[in-house]
A and B are shown apart, each in its own frame.
Chain A
Amino acid sequence: MTAIVPQTFDFPTALTRAQAGDHEAFADLVEQHEGMVYGLAFHFFGDRSRAEEVAQDAFLQLYRNLGSIESDAHLLFWLRQVTTRRCIDVQRRVKMKAVSLDDAVELRAADKWQDPLLDRRLKQLVQQLPDVQRAVVTLRYQEDLDPSEICRIVGMPVNTVKSHLHRALQALRRKLEKQS
């Protein structure tokens, strides 16, 4: 009698296919993570064209370094790290402080059940935070990361990250209370 043993077969993931040179698989990876990468850049700069540029750069860098990516989790961490650090670098170089009001309005158009004025104001206040605080706040609330995870991405001690978060929240609360 012959036993039929179900054979397990691991389908290659988009990452492994992309690493083997499959461009469509790389496009899948981009589509999988573009919301995260673009979101981090957009919340950092408050400017769509700058966010697109930085997000494209991050994926271009990913393409060049595909061989060093070990897993899907590593890919996610790598993209968050590269995007955040690139945002901070670009901001340091350009020193631009443009907040597009059109973007802010467009961003909140879907939230009809929320107070659009409050959201817009909060968005503007986040834009006014210092660069590192803004990056830390975005990683905390967009990506729902703990300070222990954020510190690995931004390359700072965990207590420094906690302090940045604390100061950012304090500043936001203070400014919101002042206005209400």
Chain B
Amino acid sequence: MNLENDLKRVLRRESPPAGFAGRVLERIEAEQTHRRPVWWRAAAASVTLGLLLGGYATHRVVEHRRGEAAKEQILTAMRIAGEKVRYAQQEVQQIGTPRP
């Protein structure tokens, strides 16, 4: 018995089941359909980033405007309150003084 000859016989090349090349090409085609080109992915990423930044900027502007409006309302309220306080002071000072 010659082991090396036996191994050569046992370990010879093997043909895969019929249609192997076709199955490889099918996998390549499937992969190509799923895989978008690099420029497409870059463009999609840019659009997404643009939308995110735009959304954030809009959100900031809206918040700023709301803040301004709230500030305006507080100032108006304080002005009104100040006038009321001034009026009340005048009324208090006039207590005890003969009214014309």
Contact = CB atoms under 8 A, between A and B. Distances in A.
Contacts of A34: 15-16, 20-21
B33 to A, nearest CB: 14
Contacts of B21: 27, 30-31, 34
B23 interface: yes
B69 to A, nearest CB: 58
A contact patch SS? helix
Contact of A39 (B1, B8, B14, B23): B14
The 9 A-B pairs at the shortest CB distance, nearest first, are namely: A39-B13, A35-B13, A39-B14, A38-B16, A30-B21, A141-B7, A141-B11, A142-B11, A27-B21
Interface residues of A, number: 39
Contacts of A108: 10
Contact of B14 (A43, A114, A144): A43
A126 B9 contact: no
A173 interface: yes
Contacts of A70: none
A107 interface: yes
A85 interface: no
B63 to A, nearest CB: 48
A36 B27 CA distance: 20
B31 interface: yes
A27 B3 contact: no
A150 interface: no
Contacts of A123: 10
A38 B3 contact: no
A30 B20 contact: yes
Given A114-B9, A141-B7, A172-B3, A56 B24 contact: yes
B15 A35 contact: yes
A137 B7 contact: yes
A88 interface: no
A124 to B, nearest CB: 10
B13 A36 contact: yes
A111 interface: yes
Contacts of A30: 20-21, 24-25
A43 B11 CA distance: 7
B4 interface: yes
B23 A56 contact: yes
Interface in A123-142: 123, 126, 137-138, 140-142
